[in-house]
Amino acid sequence: MTRHVVAAVRDLPPGGRKLFSVRGRPIAVFNLEGQFYGLLNRCPHQGGSLCEGLLTGLVLADTPGEYRMERAGEIIRCPWHGWEFDIRTGQSWCEPDKIAVRQFPVQATSGQALVQGPYVAETIAVSVEEHYIVVEI
Amino acid sequence: MSEVLDRQTTKLRIIDSDIHPSLASERDLDPFLSTRWRKHIAEYGKLSHRPLAGRGTYPRFSPNTARRDAWPANGNAPGSDLDFMRRQLLDRYDIEVGILEPLLDCNLVRNPGLAAALCSAINDWQVAAFTSQERRLRASILIPFEDPAAAVVEIDRRAGDRNFAQIQLTSRSLAPIGQRRYWPIFEAAARHGLPIGMHIGGESGHAPSPGGWPSFYAEDHHVLVHSMQTQLTSMILEGVFEHFPTLKMICIEGGFAWAPNLAWRLDRHWQKMRSEVPDLTMPPSAYMRRNVWFSTQPMEEPERPEELRRTLEWIGWDRLVFASDYPHWDFDDPEHAFPCRLSEAERRAIFRGNAEGIYRL
């Protein structure tokens, strides 16, 4: 596993998402209330770019006519056929045991901790004052 | 042939039988409409058969019923920007020929004169905005099919023009489309050797389901399939294919897994009740195998992919043509759409060969 610095934390605020190319892999990184999650940016169905999908939640109903929204902002819906994935686990909402998007560990790390290395930062200069989003591959 | 050579020749050069172009602006049709009709539209609008005049058929599940990544950077509608369409579809997937299927208010507008004018304008617009600028694209001849005499005028005007590949009909019309009053259209199509692209949809004013108006889009989306079955059944039993044996029809975006079942049932009915339709000289399935093709989109996705192969075998590898439905949300990616294995010959037939024959490319 190598640590790849992809962006400064301040460039991806909570509720945001951004597509990065890490060692040739397209990885969509999401910020859910300060926690970072990385998913391979290819829907397991037909390969749609998940990062361009609708960020949504789960509309649930225990009885007909009584609707509620849960987990707003934690579900990404593929921009093509609308398959839904849990950003925290990569699992498909409809078939969680069978279908999942590959996950990559992502962390926020201080520049101070990073400079001790090793890490890869192809396009960003790392300074000790900042915090960075680090993807492990 | 060596494996290396084999691979080189597998380059598909796809023929895509369903691409939806859009207007960047309603004004795009103005140059192709007379002052009389521009004035009419400004004063009276385009009365259609849908229940709420101001509520179009979109959005359907997503804005403009489109892939969310299909909006060009200029913010105009998906399918309106030729350069973006080239990048996202034609170049990306090596599509050699794409058939345009405009789904715009025209053929089911209630005023017959306006319907004819709009169809003709959209035909001109397809050439001006797309096919004259991009050789890979071919237009569909839109016709005011509820007024068959006017429809034939438009077909005769466009036939022989290489910009146009087919005549477009919709799977919903005021009456089942095989009925006699529509036959001048089929006569003209057969006379010119133009295939009919029967695209799913259309706003006929009838409830979309035989049981009435469904509550949900998921239902509405599903019952569209029944409209395609209705049109196909009507054309077979009314004798359209018996009387126009060279007529070719492609059922576009209606799915295909239902086709074997429809053929089996119709054959059984025909065996018992053929005295009611004595014109038919063959069982219904024989017309389906001779005159009818199906687009593969939206792909059927059975739980066990190998079952798809069996369905495809029942229909026949020579009866299917690939369609992407770009830029709509239920787009099928040619590299990922088939969940089952296809042999080289099967792939070539579906992605290219069958369409090549139908459209005489």
- C-alpha distances (whole Å) from A84 to each of A57, A78, B14, B91, B332 are 9, 6, 30, 29, 17
The enclosing domain of A66 has a CATH number of: 2.102.10.10
Nearest chain A CA: its distance from B326 CA (Å): 10
- Confidence check: pLDDT of A55 > 90: yes
In the numeric block, which tokens belong to residue B38? 């521009």
Nearest chain A CA: its distance from B299 CA (Å): 11
pLDDT in tens, B92-132: 999 999 999 999 999 999 999 999 999 999 999 999 999 99
Nearest chain B CA: its distance from A47 CA (Å): 7
Q: What is the average pLDDT across B16-45?
A: 97
Residue B205 — very low, low, confident or very high, per pLDDT cuts 50/70/90? confident
pLDDT of amino acid B2? 37
Q: Does A46 contact B337 at a Cβ distance shorter than 8 Å?
A: yes
Nearest to B336 among A46, A49, A54 (CB): A46
Residue in chain A closest to B325 (alpha carbons) equals A80
Q: Quote the CA–CA distance of B242 and B245 in Å, as a whole number.
A: 5
Question: Is B26 near chain A, with CB under 8 Å?
Answer: no
Q: Does A47 contact B335 at a Cβ distance shorter than 8 Å?
A: yes
| pTM of the entire predicted model | 0.92
- Confidence check: pLDDT of B3 > 90: no
β-pair type (B95-100, B137-142) = parallel
ipTM: 0.85
DSSP B299: P
Nearest to A79 among B68, B332, B336 (CB): B68
SS3 A31: strand
Q: Quote the CA–CA distance of B148 and B182 in Å, as a whole number.
A: 6
The share of chain B scoring above pLDDT 90, in percent, equals 89
User: Long-range contacts for A58-65 (Cβ within 8 Å, ≥24 apart)?
Assistant: A58/A84, A58/A93
The residues near B230 (Cβ < 8 Å, ≥ 6 apart) are B171, B176
Nearest chain A CA: its distance from B99 CA (Å): 21
Q: Residue A36 is part of which domain span? A: 3-136
Q: Does B69 contact A52 at a Cβ distance shorter than 8 Å?
A: yes
The residues near A72 (Cβ < 8 Å, ≥ 6 apart) are A56, A57
Residue B53 — very low, low, confident or very high, per pLDDT cuts 50/70/90? low
Q: How many A-B residue pairs are in contact by the CB < 8 A criterion?
A: 35
Q: Which domains does chain B have, with CATH numbers?
A: 13-358 (3.20.20.140)
Interface of B with A in 288-347 (CB under 8 A): 329-333, 335-337
In the numeric block, which tokens belong to residue A70? 């849960």
Question: Is B216 near chain A, with CB under 8 Å?
Answer: no
Residue B8 — very low, low, confident or very high, per pLDDT cuts 50/70/90? very low
DSSP B91: I
Site of tokens 């059984």: B268
DSSP B57: S
Backbone angles phi, psi at B90, to 5 degrees: -65, -50
Q: Identify all chain B residues contacting A41, using CB atoms and an 8 Å cutoff.
A: none
The whole-chain average pLDDT of chain B stands at: 94
Q: Quote the CA–CA distance of A25 and A28 in Å, as a whole number.
A: 10
- Confidence check: pLDDT of B155 > 60: yes
Nearest chain A CA: its distance from B67 CA (Å): 5
Q: Identify all chain B residues contacting A81, using CB atoms and an 8 Å cutoff.
A: 329-331
Site of tokens 């739980």: B303
Q: What is the average pLDDT across B66-78?
A: 96
* Gyration radius (Cα) of chain A, Å: 16
Nearest to A79 among B67, B336, B337 (CB): B67
Domain count, chain A: 1
Q: Identify all chain B residues contacting A54, using CB atoms and an 8 Å cutoff.
A: 62, 68
Site of tokens 């084999």: B6
- DSSP code per residue over A47-110: ---GGGSEEEEEEEESSTT-EEEEEEEEEEE-TTT--EEETTT-BBSS-TTT-BPPEE-EEEEE
pLDDT of amino acid B55? 66
Cis peptide before B210 (omega within 30 of 0): no
- Confidence check: pLDDT of B10 > 60: no
Strand partners, A76: A55, A85
